[in-house]
C-alpha cells in the first residue's frame, strides 16, 4: 500500500501545487485588474482636476473682467457727473452776470443778427430794467420761461440765445477738451 499511499500523496501534492498555481495566477490577475482600475481612476481624477482648474481659471477671468467693466463704468459715470457739474456751473455763472456784463452780451450778440422791422426781445424776469436802452429798437417782454440770456422773435424767426441753449449747443464741441484737462491721467 505504500505505492498507493505514495501515488495518493503525489496526486494530492500535484493538486495542491496546481491549486497554489491557480490561486497565485488568480491573485496576479486580480492585482493586475486592481492596478488597472486604480490607474483608470487616477487618470480620470487627473482629467477631472484639469477640467476643474481650467473652469476655475475661466470663471476667475470672467469675474475679473466683469469687475474691471464695472469699475470702468463707475469711473465713466463719475466723470460724466463732473462734466455735468462743470457745464451747470458755466450756466449758473452766465445766469448771474452783473448788469453791465449782461447788457454787453445782449448788445454784442444782437449786432451779429440781421433784424428786419421791430422784433420782440424776451428776457428773464428782473432783467427788463437792465435793457431799457434797447426798447427804442425793439419790444421788450419779460417772459418767465426764459431763465437766462434772451430769445429774439423777428417775425416768424426765433433766435434762442438763452444761456442754457448756448451752453448745450457748444457742449459737444468742448466736452472732449474739458474732459482732457479735468481728467489728465
Tens digits of per-residue pLDDT, 43-61? Answer: 899 999 899 889 899 998 9
* Contact (Cβ atoms closer than 8 angstroms) between residue 134 and residue 111: no
DSSP-derived secondary structure letter, 112: T
Whole-angstrom Cα Rg for the chain: 48
Same domain? 40 vs 108: no
Same domain? 87 vs 8: yes
- Burial class of 38 by CB neighbour count within 10 A (0 to 12, 13 to 18, 19+): exposed
Q: What is the pLDDT of residue 185?
A: 59
Q: What is the pLDDT of residue 154?
A: 80
Instruction: Name the domain boundary from 48, 74, 96.
Output: 96
Q: What is the pLDDT of residue 1?
A: 57
* Contact (Cβ atoms closer than 8 angstroms) between residue 138 and residue 155: no
Domain that holds residue 105: 98-182
Same domain? 92 vs 103: no
Say yes or no to pLDDT of 133 above 60: yes
Greatest Cα-to-Cα distance within the chain, rounded to the nearest angstrom: 159
Closest CA to 136 of 118, 112, 123: 118
Give the model confidence (pLDDT) of 60-99 as tens digits.
899 999 999 998 888 888 878 887 888 888 888 888 888 8
The dihedral built from the CA positions of residue 63, 68, 70 and 71, taken in this order, carries a sign that is positive
Same domain? 116 vs 50: no
DSSP string, 162-179: -HHHHHHHHHHHHHHHHH
Q: What is the pLDDT of residue 120?
A: 82
d(CA 10, CA 6): 6
Cell, residue 141:
417782454
* Confidence label for 127 from pLDDT (cuts 50, 70 and 90): confident
* Contact (Cβ atoms closer than 8 angstroms) between residue 22 and residue 30: no
**Total-model pTM:** 0.57
Same domain? 36 vs 113: no
DSSP-derived secondary structure letter, 148: S
- CATH code at 161? 3.30.2320.30
Q: What is the pLDDT of residue 80?
A: 82
Give the model confidence (pLDDT) of 153-173 as tens digits.
887 888 888 888 888 888 888
What SS3 state is found at 118? coil
* Confidence label for 139 from pLDDT (cuts 50, 70 and 90): confident
Q: What percent of the chain has pLDDT over 90?
A: 3
Count up the domains in the chain and report the number.
2
d(CA 158, CA 141): 14
Closest CA to 137 of 107, 98, 102: 107
Same domain? 12 vs 86: yes
Same domain? 109 vs 83: no
Same domain? 43 vs 106: no
For the chain, count helices (H), then strands (E).
3, 4
Same domain? 14 vs 75: yes
Same domain? 83 vs 2: yes
Instruction: Name the domain boundary from 61, 96, 131.
Output: 96
Same domain? 2 vs 90: yes
Amino acid at each position: 500500500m505504500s505505492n498507493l499511499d505514495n501515488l495518493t500523496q503525489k496526486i494530492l501534492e500535484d493538486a495542491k501545487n496546481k491549486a497554489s498555481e491557480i490561486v497565485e495566477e488568480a491573485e496576479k490577475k486580480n492585482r493586475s485588474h486592481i492596478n488597472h482600475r486604480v490607474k483608470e481612476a487616477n487618470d480620470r481624477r487627473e482629467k477631472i482636476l484639469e477640467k476643474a482648474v481650467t473652469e476655475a481659471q475661466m470663471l476667475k477671468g470672467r469675474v475679473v473682467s466683469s469687475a474691471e467693466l464695472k469699475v470702468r463704468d463707475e469711473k465713466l459715470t463719475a466723470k460724466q457727473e463732473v462734466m455735468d457739474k462743470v457745464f451747470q456751473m458755466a450756466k449758473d455763472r452766465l445766469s448771474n452776470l452783473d448788469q453791465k456784463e449782461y447788457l454787453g452780451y445782449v448788445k454784442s450778440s444782437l449786432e451779429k443778427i440781421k433784424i428786419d422791422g421791430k422784433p420782440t426781445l424776451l428776457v428773464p424776469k428782473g432783467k427788463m430794467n437792465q435793457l431799457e436802452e434797447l426798447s427804442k429798437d425793439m419790444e421788450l417782454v419779460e417772459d418767465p420761461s426764459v431763465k437766462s440770456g434772451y430769445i429774439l422773435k423777428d417775425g416768424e424767426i426765433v433766435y434762442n440765445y438763452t444761456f442754457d441753449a448756448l451752453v448745450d449747443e457748444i457742449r459737444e464741441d468742448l466736452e472732449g477738451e474739458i474732459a482732457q484737462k479735468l481728467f489728465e491721467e
